[in-house]
Structure 1
């Protein structure tokens, strides 16, 4: 592991060799201990900028290693894809309809409770008052 050892400027073939060592080390450690990312490699190699790793050859090597690590762990990469406004509106309307149905159900239940309490002559305001706090000393 080349962490924090290589604070001097590493370039060219030496950087490629260190990159190969780090990728092999991170693959051996697994995704739980050492997930591969451009930021993690920049820190482990002691680079000042991630742009050094974005040359076509290095970038392809890193992306291949990331995919190998994901395949070995069985995880599926989750890319957050933002839905367009029309899809979000449809989803929100669907959620709103579900919540409205639940609200209607609860209102109907409350009306039944009030009607039944009134039919039996019970004081509805007394029944609907907040519960008293639990007195744990009495329940020993």
Structure 2
């Protein structure tokens, strides 16, 4: 099945695995919150046990060096696409309010990005993540 839009997550390639997974989880929650129509129907197994709904399309996860991540951030901003960001400072905070304050304290061009997620037209997202490679 082909989709007209794409969800992509880019995480910095120098993070430990646990941080990459944590960053990815937080970032996709931002896409889900901003674009709820991307969420499919709830799941149910053969026994009738109910499960939460998830994205109705694939999420592509990439890794990249810091410079590529910064370039992707700039491209997403230039194209006006919705984006969630995760900065290095968020590893030191313990709640949502402090997370937002940590991002708010840093100018856009000085964010120490460790990840971002973006949703938009396939070709635009492809251009944004150019230089990143699929996460192994």
**TM-score (norm: length of structure 2):** 0.23
**TM-score (norm: length of structure 1):** 0.23
- Which protein, 1 or 2, shows the higher relative CO under an 8 Å CA cutoff with sep ≥ 6? 2
More helix by share: 1
